[in-house]
Amino acid sequence: MKTKPGLYCLIVIILLMLGVLITSAGFRQIEAKLLPMVVAGVVLFLSVIELVREAKGNKGSPSQKESAAGADEASKGLLGRYLYEGAWIIGFFLGIYLVGFLAAMALFILAYLKLHGRRWLISIIMAVTVTLFSYATFYLLGVDSYPGLLFR
């Protein structure tokens, strides 16, 4: 049976999130442990679901018609997709650094959805909804989000 690289990545994420949960459970103040526990819990839950889906899917053996060149082209395409998505993440981090967390999140969601084929109305609604939800969560927890270099 051939294992998928995605399974290893999910297992590493699950182990990291378990470490975050265990570490943050040891914090004394509820304010210090609440955010890491919530985020790690959600990521852990979603990672376990994806791990189960990955483990169940595509159990058939690869066909013998697939040549080595075809496999090489597929791996190059996969690497290109990883680099593309990595560029999005780096852009998001740079956006947070420059314009702040909430503004970067709104811009990132809007740009990502629009460039991946969603309509303008859906993209704007999702960006505004997620940003308002995040703002409300930060406000209720009494936490200030990072303002960025441009909005200090």
In a domain, 83, yes or no: no
pLDDT single digits (tens) 48-58:
998 888 888 75
78 pLDDT band (50/70/90 cuts)?
Answer: confident
Cα(116)–Cα(137) distance, integer angstroms: 28
Residues 52, 1, single domain; the answer is: yes
Q: Domain residues for 102?
A: 89-152
In a domain, 70, yes or no: no
Domain count, the chain: 2
In a domain, 63, yes or no: no
Residues 99, 145, single domain; the answer is: yes
- The three-class DSSP label of residue 117 is coil
pLDDT single digits (tens) 3-15:
676 788 888 999 9
Residues 96, 53, single domain; the answer is: no
Residue 64 pLDDT exceeds 60: no
E strand or H helix at 91: helix 68-99
Residues 105, 147, single domain; the answer is: yes
In a domain, 106, yes or no: yes
Where does 16-149 show beta strands of DSSP type E? Answer: none
In a domain, 79, yes or no: no
In a domain, 10, yes or no: yes
Residues 95, 52, single domain; the answer is: no
Model's pTM, two decimal places?
0.56
